[in-house]
Amino acid sequence: EGKVNNELSKFTNELSELSYRVTKIGFNDDVNPTYLLPEKLDFWMYKEETGEGMKKEYLTWIIFKNPIEASKEQINAMRSPYGRASGPGSAIQPQSKRTITEGQAAFKRCSVGKE
């Protein structure tokens, strides 16, 4: 938890409009998603298989080593659309047989504007 992230506010301010039936929301401000990433993109990655039989899902988790800053209110706003407003996300799981990969990505920030 930290200071308010102005770029993240553009998303969290619109989350109250999100519902299970609505899959698309509009933004009142120009949004530059590159500002939602940390400046250094060092990360850990692992793959996970959940469910059984026909309900198996395959997930790839990417965790940045250098998180972005966000306020407590912004973090709670990101949890609430998924039914987790009152507590933390999933409990930490043991590594088990997961292979954890380390990596680094690169990108260049660009300006984004309405056309």
Q: DSSP letter string over 41-109?
A: EEEEEEEEEES-GGG-EEEEEEEESSPPP--HHHHHHHHGGGT-TTS-SSPPPP-TTPPPEEEEE----
pLDDT in tens, 63-104: 899 989 999 999 888 876 554 444 455 666 677 777 888 888
pTM: 0.60
Q: List the chain domain ranges.
A: 6-82
pLDDT in tens, 7-46: 888 888 877 666 665 567 777 668 788 888 888 889 999 8
